[in-house]
Chains A and B, each alone.
Chain A
Amino acid sequence: MDFRFTDDQLTLAETVRDYLAGTHGPEVLRRLDSEGNRDPAIWQGLVDMGLTALLVPEEHGGLGLGLVEAALIATECGRACLAEPLVDTAFVAVPWLVRRGETAELGAIAAGTRKVALPHVLNPWVADGADEFPGQLLQSVDPLRNLVMFPASGSADPHLLDLGALMSAAQLVGLAEAMLHQATEYAKVRTQFGQPVGAFQGLKHQLASCAVAVEFAKPALWRAAGALECLSSNASVHVSHAKVMATDAAIQTAETAIQVHGAMGYTYEVDLHFWMKRAWALAGAWGDRACHLKRIDQAVIGGTLPIGPEHTFA
């Protein structure tokens, strides 16, 4: 029993974090917002880092890593508010295709020449799916999301839902941490009444409450990643658990962050809005709160999951 990441996993996450911090700052989000929101150079950078190959088995030219690594990196994608469809292609579609034995396109995905968007009946849209599923384009509140209306042929596979929900939860954790950081930094430099507004307890305590919410969403996320990676029988409950806690932490942090920013937070001029809107979008993606709560409810109140102190890792 060792509920920790390996040094390799932590190093990998840190490398991706540093890379995105260096190449994908808020100025990039602003540029994408004004100039058409995908950029082949950004995608190529991710491919060059090996991220599209992360979950592709070695025999198909990939790195053969697992969902725990992918969840760590998806958290970093959330933190950077990455718009490119890396998570959907490489961390949702790839493991789903691998599990179904559909290996034909894995090489191309690993090489970065093929992006895959998968429709699921719980999503009324497909993100970055317009090439594959031509149809009515939908506009998201998130200016960096490209949505097309859900096509008639969508999967209802619960495993696909689990993958999408897990990776959404991971991004939501990263988004929450980023928003908490932005709000905290703003509170240190904005002065009113002759002091930084961050010295006022009214703000301090709200930010501290966000820190608590984020801190305890993380172990739920890691538990879910570990469970889905080894396809444990209760993995779906853990994924739903992670999605609900990550969603709640992100929404709470978004609302707090805008409050801390005052009127600046209500403008398009402060970058916070990119993160906030992504959080709103992912909160409903791959099963909304109600859908995931229901799955937990059925397990916990319905009695299909053993509960109690001796079942910590059930």
Chain B
Amino acid sequence: MHLEYTPEQQAFRAEVRAWMEAHVPKEPLVTLECREGYDQHVEWERTLASGNWGMVTWPEAYGGRGLDLIQWLIFEEEYFRAGGPNRANQNGIFLLGPTIMEFGTEEQKARFLPPMARGEVIWAQAWSEPGAGSDMAAIQSKAVRDGDHYVITGQKTWSSRAAFADWGFGIFRTDPDSKRHKGLTFILFDLNSPGITRRPIRQLHGDTGFAELFFDEVRVPVENCLAGEGEGWNVAMATAGFERGLMLRSPGRFQATAKRLVELYRAHEAEAPPAAREAVVQAWMQAQAYAWNTYAVAARIMAGGKIGAEASLNKIFWSELDRAMHRTAMQILGAHAELKRFGNGQINQWLEGYIFSLSGPIYAGSNEVQRNIIAERLLGLPRVGAG
């Protein structure tokens, strides 16, 4: 256990800090969930890329800096310290990127990764279907082989940012006679392909953060298939592991929220409900515990370890922490909590954050499903329905 940063790590932190202070927009961007905000966030992705900060852990050849996970954590801490915006390309860089790195051919890596890191191509994840949410193996959308193309027909839904994004990645049934986890294939497609109709879906807050996608005989070249026909489930499970694991929600985000919550509490100490005080202290404790855990996991991975079903512990912890922090803020704000903008014109970010935090326990595999995974794979309890 060595809990000091090296001089190189400190210098790296100073470099990130200086760049972020100079570049992070002074005013918060409009929410990523609407056209105007989406455009602002994509612009920000390109600014980040101009500083070569798109995805620091990737090899230089793919537009990264080849940095290790501790440097990544430092980057993220400074990113959130500076109030960096949400990443418009998070499903690309955090989910699909690592998946391509693991399963893609050299051609696919060279073709897809650099524009992803540069923020030139924004990706949407298209897995869920109306009848296949938690039960993803119930996927019905078909991809039928026709020469050197797949012809896709079907429907995907709740695809984040798909109303505006450039490309999508999904899993489709390539073997019409297959059932459940078999016969599925992981395919990348241009969202502007003929035959794709996007129907933006209004979310809880009223903006169109995700979309439904209708595929009507959409032709996709076979070289857009990742890891071979029929391998879709395995590839998707790897992607889901990245999603729940280290990358998607780095600790800096929650430490920043906890700090803002402490500041909010200080400003409203006199009228805050008594229980809020402990909840605020808990927020700091849990955000810190999450950060330390991430450092410990990062150190293990750097020493050759892997993260498996433990990722489900993470996903539950951060999503429930985020909801608890925002709930506490709403309680502290009292009668002001319902206001979309406060009297002084400022956006009520706690309200926006609270609404979004309610989706954390649902997306990336619901927390009930995560608890099943922990019980069955980490604790070894019998599977659902087992006699």
A residues adjacent to B (C-beta < 8 A): 1-6, 9, 68, 180, 184, 187-188, 194-196, 198-199, 201, 203-205, 207-209, 211-212, 215-220, 222-223, 226-227, 241, 244-245, 293, 296-297, 300-301, 303, 307-313
Minimum CB–CB distance for B356 against chain A, Å: 19
Interchain CB contact under 8 A, B372 and A204: yes
Interchain CB contact under 8 A, B293 and A216: yes
Minimum CB–CB distance for A54 against chain B, Å: 17
Interchain CB contact under 8 A, A208 and B371: yes
Interchain CB contact under 8 A, A199 and B374: no
Q: In the bound complex, what is the Cα–Cα distance between A223 and B296 (angstroms)?
A: 10
Interchain CB contact under 8 A, B375 and A188: no
> Chain B contacts of A201 at CB under 8 A?
368, 371-372, 375, 384
Interchain CB contact under 8 A, A188 and B381: yes
Main secondary structure of the interface of B (DSSP, over half): helix
Interchain CB contact under 8 A, A1 and B9: yes
> Chain B contacts of A5 at CB under 8 A?
1
Minimum CB–CB distance for A7 against chain B, Å: 10
* Closest A residue by C-beta to B73: A312
Interchain CB contact under 8 A, B70 and A1: yes
* Closest A residue by C-beta to B368: A205
Q: In the bound complex, what is the Cα–Cα distance between A217 and B2 (angstroms)?
A: 19
* Closest A residue by C-beta to B265: A301
With A194-B387, A301-B281, A310-B78 known as contacts, the answer to whether A204 contacts B371 (CB < 8 A) is yes
> Chain B contacts of A303 at CB under 8 A?
266
Residue pairs across A and B with Cβ atoms less than 8 A apart, 26 shown, are A1-B3, A1-B5, A3-B3, A3-B299, A4-B1, A5-B1, A9-B1, A184-B379, A184-B381, A196-B386, A198-B375, A199-B384, A207-B379, A216-B286, A216-B290, A220-B289, A222-B1, A307-B258, A308-B256, A309-B77, A309-B81, A309-B252, A311-B255, A312-B77, A312-B288, A312-B291
Interchain CB contact under 8 A, A3 and B295: yes
Q: In the bound complex, what is the Cα–Cα distance between A196 and B385 (angstroms)?
A: 10
> Chain A contacts of B19 at CB under 8 A?
none
With A217-B289, A219-B289 known as contacts, the answer to whether A4 contacts B303 (CB < 8 A) is yes
B259 at the interface (CB under 8 A from A): yes
Interchain CB contact under 8 A, A293 and B375: no
> Chain A contacts of B291 at CB under 8 A?
309, 312
With A208-B379, A293-B281, A297-B281 known as contacts, the answer to whether A1 contacts B2 (CB < 8 A) is yes
Interchain CB contact under 8 A, A301 and B387: no
Interchain CB contact under 8 A, A208 and B375: yes
Chain B interface, number of residues (Cβ within 8 angstroms):
66
Minimum CB–CB distance for A245 against chain B, Å: 6
B148 at the interface (CB under 8 A from A): no
B383 at the interface (CB under 8 A from A): yes
Q: Give residues 75-92 of B contacting A (CB, 8 Å).
A: 76-78, 80-81
Q: Give residues 252-303 of B contacting A (CB, 8 Å).
A: 252-253, 255-256, 258-259, 262, 265-266, 277-278, 280-281, 284-286, 288-293, 295-296, 298-300, 303
Q: In the bound complex, what is the Cα–Cα distance between A240 and B293 (angstroms)?
A: 17
Minimum CB–CB distance for A251 against chain B, Å: 15
Interchain CB contact under 8 A, B289 and A211: no
B337 at the interface (CB under 8 A from A): no
Main secondary structure of the interface of A (DSSP, over half): helix
> Chain B contacts of A300 at CB under 8 A?
262, 280-281, 284
Interchain CB contact under 8 A, A188 and B382: yes
> Chain B contacts of A227 at CB under 8 A?
3
* Closest B residue by C-beta to A220: B289
> Chain A contacts of B300 at CB under 8 A?
4
* Contacting residue for A3 out of B1, B286, B375, CB 8 A: B1
> Chain B contacts of A2 at CB under 8 A?
1-2, 299
Interchain CB contact under 8 A, B295 and A1: yes
| Seed contacts A201-B384, A211-B379, A216-B313; 5 additional CB < 8 Å A-B pairs | A187-B381, A198-B382, A297-B277, A300-B262, A312-B295
Task: Return the CB mask of B1-42 against A: 1 if under 8 Å, else 0.
Answer: 111111001000100010000000000000000000000000
* Contacting residue for B382 out of A195, A293, A296, A307, CB 8 A: A195
* Contacting residue for B310 out of A9, A209, A215, A296, CB 8 A: A215
Q: In the bound complex, what is the Cα–Cα distance between A303 and B281 (angstroms)?
A: 12
Q: Give residues 225-269 of B contacting A (CB, 8 Å).
A: 251-253, 255-256, 258-259, 262, 265-266
Q: In the bound complex, what is the Cα–Cα distance between A217 and B13 (angstroms)?
A: 28
Minimum CB–CB distance for A313 against chain B, Å: 5
* Contacting residue for B78 out of A68, A223, A244, A309, CB 8 A: A309
* Contacting residue for B251 out of A194, A307, A312, CB 8 A: A312
Interchain CB contact under 8 A, A312 and B281: no
* Closest B residue by C-beta to A217: B289
With A219-B292, A312-B288 known as contacts, the answer to whether A204 contacts B375 (CB < 8 A) is yes
Q: In the bound complex, what is the Cα–Cα distance between A201 and B376 (angstroms)?
A: 10
* Closest B residue by C-beta to A223: B292
Minimum CB–CB distance for B289 against chain A, Å: 4
> Chain A contacts of B316 at CB under 8 A?
208-209, 212
Q: In the bound complex, what is the Cα–Cα distance between A289 and B258 (angstroms)?
A: 21
